[in-house]
Amino acid sequence: MTRRRTALAIALAVAVSAPLAACGSDDPINHPWRPGGSTPGPAAPVAEGDLAGSLTAAGASSQESAMAAWAAGFQSAYPDVVVSYDPVGSGGGRTQFVEGGIQVAGSDAPLDDEELAAAQDRCAPGDVAELPLYVSPIAVVFNLDGIASLNMSPATVAGVFARTITRWNAAEIAADNPGVALPDLAITPVTRSDESGTTENFTEYLAAAAPQAWPYEPSGNWPLDGGQSAQGTSGVVQTVTDGVGTIGYADASKAGSLGTVALGVGDDFVPFSPEAAAALVDASPRAAGRPAASLVVDLDRTSTAPGTYPLVLVSYTLACTAYEDDADAELVAAFLAYVASEEGQAAAASAAGSAPVSPALREQVLAVVEGIAP
């Protein structure tokens, strides 16, 4: 009796799970059940090849959307390749890369000296390559009824986030925004609660552009205690949206319908745009004292060049110029070539709102990528 019931239960379980296993598909784009019919995936960006294997990458969550677009584009060109990106965070990505668990990492910050040495070991006999392939403006977003845009000088932004300017109708804000009816409302700054590249870039900007109003050291962790904060870019955006009189900083692609701040550059106020972000990267010098394959940009936050937006996040793609396995080297080289290509950068721009790299930078990147050898 009991045995028969057990057998029945097993049979039932198998009967339920068998069709489940049969109907799974790894091709959602061209699946016949897709609502609205299947649209063709992104056009093959590079010549169809016979690459196969799996490329595992991990790192900064800022790159997640862009990486998804790159993986999709690359996989449609090489159907036998599996690209996976694990958004564990920059620190996790750097650690795993140095340990050799992954071939490629994404990081919001360049490697520090210690990591650089370890990474050079991991990549020996080659070099470690740090490629600035994801450039994205950071927007200062706020939630005020009926106001879509405000001008703020660096000192005002710093004052608001240092909580020395506490009301929306303060004189400093009003001075930059003649003719705007500012409400008499408390300002609630919203920051990132987790350590992040976005915070680091934002505090770096404040420290460089408004040293008097911003007395804190640049840091990936928000230096003030006791305010509103949230995890991740979407957490900040959500919190700013839910509150009244809130202001925060977030990856520009997620700003959505929130009001945004045009930052003071020289005598102008520049709203964020991918072009203005790319312009800043072009106007900034290369960091000195790093390996040849390392294209680290030393962002010039105080640049007064017209049309540059000073609040920019540059996220690097870490790879080696030599891999033990020939197949790995071939795969990484092909993938990075695609990512740096115009198609790849356009795919990221459309999926993640990032700023396509300039032709000059692309040439430098491609030169490094061509050097990737077994």
Identified binder of other proteins from the candidate list 44, 46, 53, 64, rule CB under 8 A: 64
Nearer of residues 94 and 153 to other proteins, judged by Cβ: 94
User: Distance between terminal CA atoms of the chain?
Assistant: 64
Q: Specify the stretch interacting with other proteins by CB under 8 A; choose among 53-61, 161-169, 262-270, 281-289.
A: 53-61
> By CB under 8 A, is residue 88 in contact with other proteins?
yes
Supply the minimum distance, in Å, between the C-beta of residue 166 and other proteins.
12
The DSSP letter of residue 165 is S
Of the candidate residues 45, 132, 259, 353, the single one contacting other proteins (CB under 8 A): 353
CA pair distance 219, 84, nearest whole angstrom: 30
- Chain positions 188 to 247 lying near other proteins, rule: CB under 8 A, are 188, 193-196, 219-221, 225-235, 237-239, 242-246
User: CB neighbours (10 Å) of residue 225?
Assistant: 6
Using CA atoms, how far residue 234 sits from 126, 241, 258, in Å, is: 38, 10, 13
Instruction: State how far the Cα of 166 lies from the Cα of 162, in Å rounded to an integer.
Output: 9
Question: With CB under 8 A, what is the number of residues at the site for other proteins?
Answer: 83
Provide the residue type at 342 as one letter: E
Q: Is 2 helix (H, G, I), strand (E, B) or coil?
A: helix
CB of 268 to other proteins, least distance (A): 25
Phi, psi of 327 (to 5 degrees): -60, -40
Site stretch for other proteins (CB under 8 A), options 270-278, 293-301, 325-333, 350-358:
350-358
- The pair of structure tokens assigned to 357 is 């790299």
When asked if residue 136 is in the footprint of other proteins (CB under 8 A), the reply is no
Using CB under 8 A as the binding rule, whether residue 321 contacts other proteins is answered as no
- Rounded Cα distance between 281 and 134, Å, is 11
As measured in angstroms, the least distance from the Cβ of 342 to other proteins is 18
Among 45, 89, 159, 248, binds other proteins (CB under 8 A): 89
Q: Tokens 């793609």 sit at which residue?
A: 317
How many other β-carbons are positioned within 10 Å of the β-carbon of residue 105? 31
- Find the shortest distance in angstroms from Cβ 62 to other proteins: 11
Give the Cα separation of 242 and 307 in Å (integer): 32
The residue to which tokens 């396995």 are assigned: 325
Minimum distance from CB of 42 to other proteins (Å)?
9
Restricted to residues 103-132, the positions that interact with other proteins (CB under 8 A) are: none
Task: State in angstroms the smallest separation of the CB of 360 from other proteins.
Answer: 26
CB 314 within 8 A of CB 299: yes
Among the listed residues 331, 316, 336, the one whose alpha carbon sits nearest the alpha carbon of residue 374 = 331
Q: Supply 7's token pair.
A: 């057998």
240 to 279, contacts with other proteins by CB under 8 A? Answer: 242-246, 253-256
CB of 253 to other proteins, least distance (A): 5
| CA 152 to chain CA mean position, Å | 25
Among 44, 46, 56, 216, binds other proteins (CB under 8 A): 56
Among 51, 62, 63, 69, binds other proteins (CB under 8 A): 69
From the CB of 171, what's the least distance to other proteins, in Å?
23
* Closest CB to other proteins among residues 75, 302: 75
Query: What type of residue is 175?
Result: A
* Of positions 15, 23, 43, 360, contacts other proteins by CB under 8 A: 23
Q: How far is the CB of 244 from other proteins (least distance, A)?
A: 5
